[in-house]
Chains A and B, each alone.
Chain A
Amino acid sequence: GAVVSQHPSRVICKSGTSVKIECRSLDFQATTMFWYRQFPKKSLMLMATSNEGSKATYEQGVEKDKFLINHASLTLSTLTVTSAHPEDSSFYICSARGLFFSTDTQYFGPGTRLTVL
């Protein structure tokens, strides 16, 4: 149980285009989903927290208009990188926390590697 998927796993796009990344909890309902960014050989940095049906809470320094997050259902959250630039190239990873889990463990998706040319 507690499987989280992400799609796509890898995307290459041109500068100026927008990219949407999907995060799905496959076998549980996720009340809260989190989006992280990870640079090479670095730790994970939380970008935003999203609760189903409400606006995402962004961490300081993360541009809301650039990284659009939608959490439309208890099993799906999307991150859209708008007008992507090469500095947005990174590994984006989502996690989800379940509604009825006995602990507050976050389960992570496999990540999406974004390369902006």
Chain B
Amino acid sequence: AQKITQTQPGMFVQEKEAVTLDCTYDTSDPSYGLFWYKQPSSGEMIFLIYQGSYDQQNATEGRYSLNFQKARKSANLVISASQLGDSAMYFCAMRENTQGGSEKLVFGKGTKLTVNP
């Protein structure tokens, strides 16, 4: 079963408008972390925002905010005032604790965002 689901393979948004990228997750662990990364065509993975499962407030980082709805197990990324440079792949990821005591990131399949001028 997929741990991280990103249902939007591609999204389009007009420059200066806001866009929401969906992410739902599945875990039975009460302690987890959720991340969003941006991957431009150059390939590098750029960390955008983090939400801990016990965080009371939704995370915000500049134009990025995370709409964390714990009961629904969703962690949607909201990008406000889109810019042309926001065009990229966006990956949602969850920190998963393994049985051996270590942890790993599990990634969704990604959403390709295109910002139109």
- Indicate whether A and B interact: yes
Question: What's the interface size class on B, roughly?
Answer: 20 to 34
| B30-53 to A contact mask, C-beta < 8 Å, 1/0 | 000101010000111111001010
Stretch in B19-27, B74-82, B98-106 with 4+ CB within 8 Å of A:
B98-106
**Count class of interface residues, chain A:** 20 to 34
With A43-B91, A43-B110, A44-B91 known to touch, is A107 a contact of B104 (CB < 8 Å)? no
Stretch among A21-29, A76-84, A98-106 lining the B interface = A98-106
Whether A113 is near chain B, meaning CB under 8 Å from some CB there, is: yes
Cα A6 to Cα B91 in complex, Å, equals 21
* Pair count A-B, CB < 8 A: 54
For the complex, is A46 an interface residue (Cβ under 8 Å from B)?
A: yes
Query: Chain A contacts of B102 at CB under 8 A?
Result: 32, 49, 51, 57
- In the bound complex, CA of A59 to CA of B35 (Å): 21
Question: A46-B104, A49-B104 given as contacts; is B109 within 8 A of A95 (CB)?
Answer: no
Instruction: Decide yes or no: A43 and B109 within 8 Å by CB, A49-B104, A103-B33, A105-B35 being known contacts.
Output: yes
Q: Does the CB pair B107–A111 fall under 8 Å?
A: no
Would you call B105 and A111 a contact (CB within 8 A)?
no
Cross-chain contact A103 with B42 (CB below 8 angstroms): no
Which residues of B are in contact with A by a Cβ distance under 8 Å? 33, 35, 37, 42-47, 50, 52, 91, 95, 100, 102-110
Q: List 16 A-B contacts (CB under 8 A).
A: A42-B109, A43-B91, A46-B106, A49-B104, A59-B104, A93-B43, A103-B52, A104-B103, A105-B47, A108-B37, A108-B44, A108-B45, A108-B47, A109-B44, A110-B43, A113-B43
